[in-house]
Amino acid sequence: MSNKDNIYATTQAVEDFTFDAKVVEVFPDMIQRSVPGYATIVSTMGKLAGQFAQNNSNLYDLGCSLGAVTLSMRRNIDKENCAIIGIDNSAAMVERCKLHLSGFRSQVPVDIRLGDITQSNIENASVVALNFTLQFIPLEKRQALLSNIYQGLKPGGVLLLSEKFRGNDEQADSLLIDLHHDFKRANGYSELEISQKRTAIENVMRPESLEQHLTRLQSIGFSQTQVWYQCFNFCSMIAIK
């Protein structure tokens, strides 16, 4: 059972958002109340991983946080000799993720690593997941990260990418942001919490437009790209090599 997210419930000098121990304690509640359809996204990513996993291959969960996607993948894999590798740069997340995963039995081995995904080798991969992770990577490093993933994927392998995105123009972006804030209000967040969280995250999360994402994936070489989920300014897509 996760603790309730009240990190921004009191007036404070807001610092840049980090995935520290304080966030780890409330992360499941925070993500469920902040990302529309999060449970559906995680569940479907697991099903897609099961569909596209190949025998004798690796599946990666990059920016694995507490391991929700890793667990969803593991539940759905029925191919032989597959392994899941989860990587996150937050020591607090990695420690709690390992503890969380230890409570679930499975024949599929999982290796959770502390590391920088922009410096990690992707090898013999049939599935790579980036679930609301790329948006926290500096803009100038995103092309190289995605190219590295593409190179590490086997033919027929897939990238599962979920992102918060920016509207194509100011009016569209404002509408999507307003709808998202209404969603957060309906889930119990106060105006103060919404405002302070937005201040905390604006310097560390740089969303791009959906068109930018799809164009870049195609330019890297992915043969097919398809958005399979969208609610407000959140979406999930699949890119096939």
Q: CATH number for the domain including 120?
A: 3.40.50.150
The whole-number pLDDT of residue 105 equals 86
Q: List the Cα angle 45/161/176 in 5-degree steps.
A: 105
Domain-embedded: residue 179: no
Q: What is the pLDDT along the chain (241 residues), one digit of tens a residue?
A: 569 999 999 999 999 999 999 999 999 999 999 999 999 999 999 999 999 999 999 999 999 999 999 999 999 999 999 999 999 999 999 999 999 999 888 999 999 999 999 999 999 999 999 999 999 999 999 999 999 999 999 999 999 999 999 999 999 999 999 999 999 999 999 999 999 999 999 989 999 999 999 999 999 999 999 999 999 999 999 999 9
Q: Which residues contact 7 (CB under 8 A, 6 or more apart)?
A: 22, 23, 26, 30, 197
Q: How far apart are CA 82 and CA 59, in angstroms?
A: 7
For residue 16, CA distances in Å to 128, 136, 196, 199 come to: 28, 12, 10, 8
Q: Which residues contact 193 (CB under 8 A, 6 or more apart)?
A: 6, 8, 9, 184
Residue 148 labelled as part of a binding site? no
Domain-embedded: residue 11: no
Total tally of structural domains belonging to the chain = 1
Residue 198 labelled as part of a binding site? yes
Tell me if residue 9 falls in helix, strand or coil: coil
Residue 147 labelled as part of a binding site? no
Domain-embedded: residue 194: no
Q: How far apart are CA 240 and CA 223, in angstroms?
A: 6
Residue 78 labelled as part of a binding site? no
Residue 168 labelled as part of a binding site? no
Domain-embedded: residue 97: yes
Residue 117 labelled as part of a binding site? yes
- Global pTM reads 0.97
Range of the domain at 51: 38-166+205-240
Domain-embedded: residue 140: yes
Domain-embedded: residue 8: no
Residue 187 labelled as part of a binding site? no
Q: How far apart are CA 63 and CA 86, in angstroms?
A: 7
Domain-embedded: residue 20: no
Q: Which residues contact 91 (CB under 8 A, 6 or more apart)?
A: 114
Domain-embedded: residue 9: no
Residue 182 labelled as part of a binding site? no
For residue 63, the one-letter residue type is: G
Residue 63 labelled as part of a binding site? yes
Residue 113 labelled as part of a binding site? no
